[in-house]
Structure 1
Amino acid sequence: MTLSRRNLLQIAAAAAASGSLSAPAAAQTKSINIGLSSAAAMLDLVRTSSGPDFEVVRQIFDTLLTRNEETGEFTPNLATSWRLVDDVTWQFKLREGVTFHNGEPFNAEAVAFSVMRYLKPELKSPHAGVLSFIEKVDVIDASTVNIVTKKPYPVFLVHMAVGSTGMIIIMPPKYIAEKGDDNFAKNPVGTGPYRFIRAVPGSSITLESNEAYWRGKPAITQVNYRFVPENSTRVSALIAGDLDIIENVPTDLIGLIEKSGKAKVAVSETSGLCLMMQLNPASHPALANKQVRKAMNHAVDIDTILKSLLGGRVNRRALPVYPGAVAAKKDLPLYKYDPALAKKMLADAGYAKGFELDAFTSNGRYAADYAIAQAYVEYLGEVGIKVNLRPMEWATLVGNMAKRQAGPMYQIGWSFREGDVFKLKAALHPASPYSTFQNAEFGALIDQAEVTMVPEKRAELWGKAQELLLDEAPFIHAWQPFDLYGAANRVAWKQPIVPMFIFDMDLK
């Protein structure tokens, strides 16, 4: 069966929730209201890798380095300079005169504490596996620190800059020692441009500008994050002036925003966010069979789904890998839509009558996420696979993933803002707490690649890993949607990037 464009648009309409957001517009001229599609639930980055959490954490904390969005070059931040002392020792000179929001001084002790905190077993950090290359941190003096790795590590600096998985933020050691880890998660303190004020769980988070920020006072004095999962409600609130910025604008509502005269749509094609319909082979006997997983890829007409539900604002990918990432393998083949072949492969694997499984997806976390999942249900049903689709709160889904209990089928996205294919380690390496793909050969290739300093050899190893991943098919298709933001006309935004950096914004 080939679903028509009308069928898919009907699915999208059914998936969109209606509603209105009733709240007063911002009273302060320098107060900005931001509508996120999912709630930020954990503000201790050591213990989360969730996108909504990262969106808020980005404003509160700093990293040692930053990265130029256009050139990819590393630039100073809390560190003013850095050098490779030997094959495994990186030395950083630190910015002096910087303080945390509570007045605690930023220094080498804070860096050492922050780096090693990610590796504390009791915190069960989702980043620990990615950062397992770190051996120790030596404090040379108050403004000099050496970070020592177990082996030469070619992408070390990536973790010192803004990215996502494995990004090391700098935290206040005395504050955490006095208040405890759980209190820190609820009342975070950093050196960033905004300080935490309050949170209403599942509803909102308020930040205020750090007037003593080392880069200067932020132009916007207050940031109000509001969690609005319904697409239509976010758009209505933007047009009404209740929200100044919204994320994940549905493609079918772009025209409504642009015609309103009150706001515009900002587009970013370079965030590196890649989505896929992940499979958990250990959770269902049929999914343990590679031929079944391949058959499921042939059963779903992903091209029609993406064209109908996301228009031209998406790129299909062979793997959940941003093609601009270092060591990303080019020209990998795509699974073709062939339901007859899918049925034959299922029969050959012993599932001629199909099978039944549960699938989970967020509703509003990603562009058209629920509608896309519904389309998967329709296509898989045509080859005899009955899918019970269950919408799930984003925080719950991520929590299940962190325990390898997601699935049997679930929709998830991974950001490649780090600019390197090594992100696959966090997503799919057998040792990762998030990985339901327990393939020893894949893990061994990654382990070799991450300690290989010669770029050509490293790319070769990563190429083999990506070919193996495509053949094993632990997911059903991958795609990279454009990031679509709605921004009120009064918002001056230098560059739409993911995550948003409020320090780069102003209000007209």
Structure 2
Amino acid sequence: MTNRKTRLLSLLLASVMTLALLSGCSKDTGSSSGNGGEGKDSLVVATMSETPSMGPYDHNAVAGDYMNQLVYSSLFETDADLNPVPELVDTYENTSDTEWLFHLKQGVKFHDGSDLTSEDVVASITYAKTCPEVNLYNGSILTVEAVDEYTVKMTTDGPSATLLYDLCHHGNSIVPKELLDNGNDFNENPIGSGPYKFVEWKRGDSIQFEAFEDFYEGAPSIKSMTWKIIPEGSSRTIALEAGEVDMIIEVEAMDAERIESNSDLTLLKHDSTAINWLMLNNEKPGLDNQNVRHAINSAINRDDLVTVAMNGMATPAYSSTPLGMLGSTDEGADTFDVKKAQEYMDASGMDPASVEMSIICSNDTKKRAAEVIQSNLSEIGINCEIESMDLATYLSTTAEGNFTASIGGYSSSDMVSYLVGVYHSKSIGASNKTRLNNPEIDALIDEAAATVDSAAREVVLKEVTVQLNELCPQVSLYQDLYLRAYNANLEGVDINAGGNIRFQDISWKA
């Protein structure tokens, strides 16, 4: 135990020393258009990861969702409490257990000047259903048809507790039917009805947008917006302090206190539903053994991991589902117990040295977490490597199953959508990275999705959580505290537990 503590202390000291060295030398981000709070109408945003696509249908990445929310609109969006509320919809009716009528807002225009009608909705949802990265968010929709120019009827495959939540997802964004029919590449030519129009994408550097003056809610105050891709956390902080950028989307946790003490900056904190895990490929030898997975789960000290990786700004997680969501429970979940981990390893019948693990990481925070895991697992004889990878490669590699372990996460506005995305077998090849294929789990998730009564649905969801805790397909690590930092002269900045920011509401103080 003494050796383990010594190694963890060394990791923490190394992280602090590295950050101190980085903060002593400024890195040129290539941006010179920060506002400094002078009442200008432009905004420069620093983000950690580059979107894998500007199109809404061919990815399920948070980095891409940020871009999609600027360019596209959906039928619904989530409010401050993560409830689905109408976006393009004016009013709606649930006319039977399986039929829904949506009456669209009139006068909504796309960026190409065309009017948004029910035909665009039908074409968009129909097309989205063919896209494997996002069709888990519209799989319950059997038919979608235009009743008239501004009325859409959807029929589901049974009672649906999640339809309105699903219609908030970027994978159900509405685009012009004419462009779909003509084979438009929305990655290269993203056209939607959102508050911002795409201008230019300099791969690896930045993405530029301009305000859509005909946006149906009114033209945004910020007329020009540039997103700078700055992978290194300390470099994002330095850029904000220097006025080279005006906002940071992913704040380096180690810099949070420093930002908070700067009167020229504002640090925004918000609890989240995002949970981060050590993903284990259940199809790989060794990791296909349930006792080995429990051994790994029990060997990891979440408190140390949160301290080293997140500077204490996260909540240790043990359950397979996020805290605070309907049906979540710690019942049956492993806790940190090295002795128990060794017992699980003995029960597995495997030599721990034979368990091959290479932990893929796509940013510095994940790498710090992986270093703690590497130290913890060595205590039970499992040796693992750490591999760094850019986000796009990481997403494709893990979706294809070409990995043993990886640190990742998932954010959702409701428990059913979370379970479908993370654990349902139909999401293998997309967001089910562990590749869990369990018919009983699938059946329970499907039952929950069809249970409209929330009290009854909670019972089913809790049962799913308990069974997942027993199966231990992956290792929950921590639940995020969302951190956003920005120039103190900005106003209208707010986020919800899903991490969404309505950039159309942001302006510079007069």
TM-score by length of 2: 0.91
**Residue 503 of structure 1: aligned partner:** 504
Matched letter for residue 203 of structure 1: D
Q: CA–CA distance in 2 between the matches of 1:414 and 1:234?
A: 23
**Residue 293 of structure 1: aligned partner:** 293
**Residue 64 of structure 1: aligned partner:** 75
Q: Structure 2 vs 1, CA of residues 421 and 129 (structure 1 numbering), >3 Å: closer, same or farther?
A: closer
**Residue 12 of structure 1: aligned partner:** 15
Contact 2:320–2:475, Cα closer than 8 Å, also in 1: no
Matched letter for residue 25 of structure 1: S
> Which deviates more from structure 2 when the two are superposed, residues 217-226 or residues 57-66?
57-66
Q: Which of 81, 84, 93 does residue 83 from structure 1 map onto? A: 93
**Residue 272 of structure 1: aligned partner:** 273
Matched letter for residue 503 of structure 1: Q
2:105 aligned with 1:101: no
Per-residue deviation at 1:97? 1.2
Per-residue deviation at 1:334? 4.2
Q: Structure 2 vs 1, CA of residues 237 and 216 (structure 1 numbering), >3 Å: closer, same or farther?
A: same
Per-residue deviation at 1:24? 4.4
Per-residue deviation at 1:333? 4.9
Contact 1:452–1:458, Cα closer than 8 Å, also in 2: yes
Per-residue deviation at 1:331? 4.3
**Residues 13-162 of structure 1 mapped to structure 2, 5 A cutoff:** 13=16, 18=22, 20-26=27-33, 29-70=40-81, 72-120=82-130, 124-161=131-168
Contact 2:267–2:486, Cα closer than 8 Å, also in 1: yes
Matched letter for residue 49 of structure 1: N
Contact 2:275–2:410, Cα closer than 8 Å, also in 1: yes
Q: CA–CA distance in 1 between the matches of 2:162 and 2:29?
A: 47
**Residues 329-348 of structure 1 mapped to structure 2, 5 A cutoff:** 329-348=328-347
* Aligned partner of residue 116 in structure 2, secondary structure: coil
* Aligned partner of residue 255 in structure 1, secondary structure: helix
Per-residue deviation at 1:22? 4.0
The Cα offsets for residues 294-327 of structure 1, whole Å up to 9 and x where unpaired, read as 01111111122213442442112233533332x3
Contact 2:34–2:246, Cα closer than 8 Å, also in 1: no
Q: Structure 2 vs 1, CA of residues 250 and 89 (structure 1 numbering), >3 Å: closer, same or farther?
A: same
**Residues 294-309 of structure 1 mapped to structure 2, 5 A cutoff:** 294-309=294-309
2:234 aligned with 1:232: yes
Q: CA–CA distance in 1 between the matches of 2:34 and 2:415?
A: 42
The Cα offsets for residues 447-506 of structure 1, whole Å up to 9 and x where unpaired, read as 222222333332222222111111111112331120111211222134134132211211
Q: CA–CA distance in 2 between the matches of 1:88 and 1:303?
A: 46
The Cα offsets for residues 194-225 of structure 1, whole Å up to 9 and x where unpaired, read as 01111011221101000011111101001100
* Aligned partner of residue 5 in structure 2, secondary structure: coil
2:390 aligned with 1:397: no
Q: CA–CA distance in 1 between the matches of 2:136 and 2:79?
A: 26
**Residue 424 of structure 2: aligned partner:** 429
Contact 1:15–1:371, Cα closer than 8 Å, also in 2: no
Per-residue deviation at 1:247? 2.4
Q: Structure 2 vs 1, CA of residues 420 and 235 (structure 1 numbering), >3 Å: closer, same or farther?
A: same
Extract unaligned runs of 5+ from structure 2: none
Q: CA–CA distance in 1 between the matches of 2:321 and 2:507?
A: 33
2:380 aligned with 1:376: no
* Aligned partner of residue 101 in structure 2, secondary structure: strand
Matched letter for residue 80 of structure 2: E
Matched letter for residue 302 of structure 1: R
**Residue 196 of structure 2: aligned partner:** 194
> Which deviates more from structure 2 when the two are superposed, residues 54-63 or residues 254-263?
254-263
Matched letter for residue 491 of structure 2: A
**Residues 398-477 of structure 1 mapped to structure 2, 5 A cutoff:** 398-405=395-402, 407-416=403-412, 418-432=413-427, 433=429, 434-435=431-432, 436-477=435-476
Matched letter for residue 386 of structure 1: N
Matched letter for residue 225 of structure 1: W
Contact 1:54–1:499, Cα closer than 8 Å, also in 2: no
* Aligned partner of residue 216 in structure 2, secondary structure: coil
Matched letter for residue 210 of structure 1: F
Q: Structure 2 vs 1, CA of residues 431 and 66 (structure 1 numbering), >3 Å: closer, same or farther?
A: closer
2:398 aligned with 1:387: no
Q: CA–CA distance in 1 between the matches of 2:17 and 2:57?
A: 38
Per-residue deviation at 1:41? 2.3
Matched letter for residue 458 of structure 2: A
* Aligned partner of residue 136 in structure 2, secondary structure: coil
Q: Structure 2 vs 1, CA of residues 275 and 14 (structure 1 numbering), >3 Å: closer, same or farther?
A: farther
**Residue 319 of structure 2: aligned partner:** 319
Contact 2:322–2:328, Cα closer than 8 Å, also in 1: no
Q: CA–CA distance in 1 between the matches of 2:231 and 2:178?
A: 37
Q: CA–CA distance in 1 between the matches of 2:485 and 2:87?
A: 29
Contact 1:358–1:389, Cα closer than 8 Å, also in 2: yes
* Aligned partner of residue 93 in structure 1, secondary structure: strand
RMSD: 2.1
TM-score by length of 1: 0.91
Q: CA–CA distance in 2 between the matches of 1:176 and 1:352?
A: 54
Matched letter for residue 490 of structure 1: N
Q: How many residues align?
A: 491
**Residues 156-195 of structure 1 mapped to structure 2, 5 A cutoff:** 156-161=163-168, 163=169, 167-178=171-182, 180-181=183-184, 183-195=185-197
* Aligned partner of residue 217 in structure 1, secondary structure: coil
Q: CA–CA distance in 2 between the matches of 1:13 and 1:470?
A: 34
* Aligned partner of residue 58 in structure 1, secondary structure: helix
Q: Structure 2 vs 1, CA of residues 170 and 305 (structure 1 numbering), >3 Å: closer, same or farther?
A: same
> Which deviates more from structure 2 when the two are superposed, residues 75-84 or residues 224-233?
75-84
Contact 2:313–2:481, Cα closer than 8 Å, also in 1: yes
Contact 2:301–2:376, Cα closer than 8 Å, also in 1: yes
Per-residue deviation at 1:104? 1.6
Contact 2:309–2:366, Cα closer than 8 Å, also in 1: no
Q: CA–CA distance in 1 between the matches of 2:352 and 2:241?
A: 50
Per-residue deviation at 1:421? 3.6
Q: CA–CA distance in 2 between the matches of 1:484 and 1:494?
A: 12
Q: Structure 2 vs 1, CA of residues 152 and 15 (structure 1 numbering), >3 Å: closer, same or farther?
A: farther
Contact 1:321–1:421, Cα closer than 8 Å, also in 2: no
* Aligned partner of residue 135 in structure 1, secondary structure: strand
Contact 1:38–1:229, Cα closer than 8 Å, also in 2: yes
> Which deviates more from structure 2 when the two are superposed, residues 484-493 or residues 13-22?
13-22
Matched letter for residue 277 of structure 1: L
Extract unaligned runs of 5+ from structure 1: none
Q: CA–CA distance in 2 between the matches of 1:297 and 1:444?
A: 25
Q: CA–CA distance in 1 between the matches of 2:266 and 2:237?
A: 11
Contact 2:493–2:501, Cα closer than 8 Å, also in 1: no
Per-residue deviation at 1:385? 0.6
Q: CA–CA distance in 1 between the matches of 2:367 and 2:251?
A: 14
